[in-house]
Chains A and B, each alone.
Chain A
Amino acid sequence: MVMKSEGDVKRLEKLIGLLQSLHAEISQLTRKSANDGLNIFKLRIVNKILAEADTILLNEYKPLENFAGFEEDALPTNSDVTMVLALYMEQAERFRSDNVVYADYEWNYVVNGKSSGIESSPPSTIGAHKK
């Protein structure tokens, strides 16, 4: 799975930012009350972001097979949502790490198989096989 344009890079970076913010917010709720249900408004936002993630994290990067967002009737708890967000964050980071390369003393995103010149942060230990 590769990124094909600068737009793909921007979408991935946006997704990582959103997942991190959501995870931080809902982790706080989980620490307060793990078994409490997440309200419908937050749940819909989570589902929207996960749906967007599913269009970016494909094939081997898909975090969960047969998972198509949270069902409102299933009353997902804070801890359920935190766990799933953590899985998505991890796969998003793996995808990012697999698509960066070290060139000219800096880390850049790989677009269409070559260094794009778009600077990235170093890969985490999950990915990094192209170092």
Chain B
Amino acid sequence: MALIRPRLTDHYGILRSQAELDFAIPFLDEDIPLYVDPFMLWRSPSQQDRSLHTVLLNAFNHLGYLAKNGLEARAVENLVAASECEEVGLGTSANRRGKRIGREKANEIVSLFKRIPQYGRAGFRHIEEIQFFVDGISKDRISDLTCSFLKSFLIDFTLQQSEKLGIPTQVTDVNNVYDDRKNAFETQRGLALPAHPRTGSPLLFVPKRWLRFVPWLNYDDYFEKYCPQDEISHSPEELTRVEVLNYNREHYGVIDHYIEVKERTFEDCHNDPLFSQIPVTFAKRKLSTLQRLATGKDGGADRKYETLVGQLLPSLLYPKLDFAQEQARTESGVSIRDLIFYNTASTPFLADIHRHYGSQQITIELKNVAAVEREHIDQLNRYLAEELGRFGILVTRNPLKKAEMRRTIDLWAGQRKAIVALTDLDIAQMVELFESKQRNPIDVIIKKYTEFRAKCP
């Protein structure tokens, strides 16, 4: 069985968790659901990041210079080239492929330099400002433009990180790398970069510190809090985006004010983590709901149980285990819900599981039943193979009965597969440890595994 939601590092057997690394680990089959926010470069205390922001602005404002000097076609061509940066794989695409903007849209952006006198005279202070004037430009496009203009830096960053971690590279060509001496995009040939294992296309890493779910300067924030909606329309509830954008073009001062306010409050702008744990109070509330929940399926109790455990465990086990995804599978007509975690061997126990059971990923199967039956053990047993390894966790309500415990011991004796059961009491203890921080919640799994192994022959 193939890895679930494979990441580049897992593919190459590089055992590092996301929390340890400076860049967002690329997924092989989908994009990372975050975006580069150029404001993070502007507000950074690092001179390097701020210089990169200047490079970005110079490159973007050069489009205005071209437009003003009758070279609109070249400006449009550059902008179209910059509008997609597939190598970084950020956004929501399910196949790591995006579309460039059309020439018409590019023309509309380039025309801002002529249409808005301030931009014609002094250029943009933040490239995100284009969202307030041109329809169809949002966080993904801003992110791609930023990455394209800074691709040369991202290549260096990727080379450095690959070397540090020992990520295999292959010699490849990278298209559309911006050369700020020529102010043009060109193809850089013969670069040793990590490549997608199937397609062979080059991959670029992006520093985690630049990533946010939405840019600090964004249309929705502007529209909700700063846009003079009453002034634009007598019936603000019917206000369309295009009307607001048209208004903005004629009233640059409103946008200017918005940018000033956002620049002043820059200290509130932080990068978004790729995963954030739920707060302790939230975890305790989830646990208390879980403990009151009936076993079985009545009233959708099984679904509620799966949701609650699905919300708790990724937070309780972070950062020792990175959550991959929740997965539904059907076996013999029975719907089964699993939580899959990447095993980066971040503790001696997890390294042991990785080595002895071949678990590159760890499967946790959820069962809201009063008593686990033999078939439940067998379902998980069949699932434990190849990359998922021979170690699995069954999260259920009560301890295994003698016969089922015997079955798990027999599986270890016969096939060297380990199935450990966590009950409500164990989850409660994990939540308690999550709150007290005296031990790590994963220690509960270690305890259960130690108890299990003590029973094995």
Among residues of A, the one whose C-beta sits closest to the C-beta of B440 is: A37
The answer to the question of A35 belonging to the interface, with a C-beta cut-off of 8 Å to chain B, is yes
A74-B450 contact in complex given A37-B438, A39-B438, C-beta closer than 8 Å: yes
Structural contact, A74 and B447, CB atoms closer than 8 A = yes
Residue in B349, B433, B447, B450 whose CB lies within 8 Å of A36: B433
Distance, CA A83 to CA B398, complexed state (A) = 26
Main secondary structure of the interface of A (DSSP, over half): loop
0/1 string, B328-350, CB within 8 A of A gives 1? 00000000000000000000010
Residue in B428, B429, B439, B447 whose CB lies within 8 Å of A39: B439
Structural contact, B450 and A73, CB atoms closer than 8 A = yes
The answer to the question of A25 belonging to the interface, with a C-beta cut-off of 8 Å to chain B, is no
Distance, CA A101 to CA B429, complexed state (A) = 48
Residues of A near B443 (CB, < 8 A) are 37, 73, 75
A81 nearest CB across to chain B (Å): 11
Residue in B428, B436, B439 whose CB lies within 8 Å of A75: B439
The answer to the question of A89 belonging to the interface, with a C-beta cut-off of 8 Å to chain B, is no
The B418-435 residues at the A interface (CB cut-off 8 A) are 428-429, 432-433
Among residues of A, the one whose C-beta sits closest to the C-beta of B441 is: A37
Residues of B near A103 (CB, < 8 A) are none
Identify the interface centre among A33, A37, A40: most chain B CB within 10 Å of its CB: A37
Distance, CA A74 to CA B451, complexed state (A) = 8
Distance, CA A71 to CA B446, complexed state (A) = 11
Distance, CA A37 to CA B432, complexed state (A) = 8
Structural contact, A37 and B429, CB atoms closer than 8 A = yes
Structural contact, B444 and A36, CB atoms closer than 8 A = no
Residues of A near B446 (CB, < 8 A) are 73, 75
0/1 string, A57-90, CB within 8 A of B gives 1? 0000000000000010111010000000000000
Structural contact, B428 and A35, CB atoms closer than 8 A = yes
Structural contact, B428 and A36, CB atoms closer than 8 A = no
Structural contact, B450 and A38, CB atoms closer than 8 A = no
Among residues of B, the one whose C-beta sits closest to the C-beta of A32 is: B436
Residues of B near A75 (CB, < 8 A) are 429, 439, 443-444, 446-447
Residues of B near A36 (CB, < 8 A) are 429, 432-433, 436, 438
Residues of A near B438 (CB, < 8 A) are 36-39
A70 nearest CB across to chain B (Å): 12
Identify the interface centre among B349, B429, B436: most chain A CB within 10 Å of its CB: B436
Distance, CA A128 to CA B252, complexed state (A) = 94
Residues of B near A73 (CB, < 8 A) are 349, 443, 446-447, 450
Structural contact, B450 and A37, CB atoms closer than 8 A = no
Residue in A35, A39, A40, A71 whose CB lies within 8 Å of B432: A35
Some 24 contacts from A to B, beta carbons below 8 A apart, are A33-B432, A33-B436, A35-B429, A36-B429, A36-B432, A36-B433, A36-B436, A36-B438, A37-B433, A37-B438, A37-B439, A38-B438, A38-B439, A39-B438, A73-B443, A73-B446, A73-B447, A73-B450, A74-B447, A74-B451, A75-B439, A75-B443, A75-B444, A75-B446
Instruction: Give the interface of A toward B (CB within 8 A).
Output: 33, 35-40, 71, 73-75, 77
Instruction: Give the interface of B toward A (CB within 8 A).
Output: 349, 428-429, 432-433, 436, 438-439, 443-444, 446-447, 450-451
Per CB-CB distance, the 3 closest pairs between chain A and chain B, nearest first, are A37-B439, A75-B447, A39-B438
Q: List 17 additional A-B contacts (Cβ < 8 Å) besides A36-B433, A75-B447.
A: A35-B428, A35-B429, A36-B429, A36-B438, A37-B432, A37-B433, A37-B439, A37-B443, A39-B438, A39-B439, A40-B439, A71-B450, A73-B349, A73-B443, A74-B451, A75-B443, A75-B446
